Amino acid sequence: MSVRRDRSQADRLREQLLGPRRHDVLSLDEVLQAGRILFGEPQRMSFYGLPPVAWYARGVRLLGRTSVEATPDVTAQPIARTVRALLGRRPRVGVVDLFAGSGNLMLHVAKELSAAGYGLDADEAVWRQTEANLRIVGASEELRYGDWLSYFVDPLRVDTSVYVLSPPWGDAFSFANGLDITRTDPPIPLLIDTIAARDRSAHRYAVVQHTPVEPVINVSAVTNRYPVVGSGRGCFVVSIH
């Protein structure tokens, strides 16, 4: 995917939306501006299968931090198709997003797998806004307020757990340098190790989201320890044994 943008300008906007404006509800003009600056095109702020003007008209809203951290359709849909191609559809599958944000990636993957979707978010403002958004678009997936470790207290009872992993990137990412998966918050290798220790499903997979454009650093911290099932634009998938 070719994206034309001013990386310095994108990093400045990202810092603002993840900092002092993290809980501000963005206007439609601000959403479109974020699409232009962060993704090179306003329509790349499409979520829930809807372009930005359409979802905004229906009452869906994004907070500052969600506009940066959420996975828009242009990235979520190819990831979901990759997961289906690699794993296929199986009985008793659950899709789990421990850092749901907008819930968009969870929704797309769950739809492709015909699976139940279950998300968590530890930011109460994000959780409340996303819960409202999911109801507006008619999504049935469950979203719980809580930190990622709380999932393992009462996990889904399924045969196959598919975790979509995209924890807050924070300082682990910049448009200038790319993404270091060992510096996310928490680090992605720690997340997968915890899933390996605490999830009791018969089959467990991690879908690790990454930037489809900028470099991805330290992937071997995961792939040297867990078998790679495959990869696609914006993600790779490992089996957790």
27-79: pLDDT as tens digits: 999 999 999 999 899 999 999 999 999 999 999 999 999 999 999 999 999 99
pLDDT of res. 46: 98
Provide Rg for the chain, Cα atoms: 17
Residue 5 has pLDDT above 90, yes or no: no
CA-closest candidate to residue 16, choices 32, 40, 46, 38? 38
pLDDT of res. 151: 97
pLDDT of res. 176: 87
CB 235 within 8 A of CB 85: no
- Tell me if the pTM is above 0.85: yes
Q: Considering only 112-116, 122-126, 173-177, 234-238, which range has the smallest mean pLDDT?
A: 173-177
Cβ burial, residue 184 (10 Å; 0-12/13-18/19+): buried
CATH 3.40.50.150 occupies which residues in the chain?
73-239
Would you tell me how many other CB atoms lie within 10 Å of the CB of residue 75?
25
Per-residue pLDDT averaged across 179-205, rounded? Answer: 98
pLDDT of res. 241: 83
Pairing of strands 178-180, 173-174: antiparallel
| 73-239 CATH pick, 3.40.640.10, 3.40.50.300, 3.40.50.150, 3.10.310.70 | 3.40.50.150
Residue 2 confidence class, pLDDT cut points 50, 70, 90:
low
Backbone angles phi, psi at 35, to 5 degrees: -60, -40
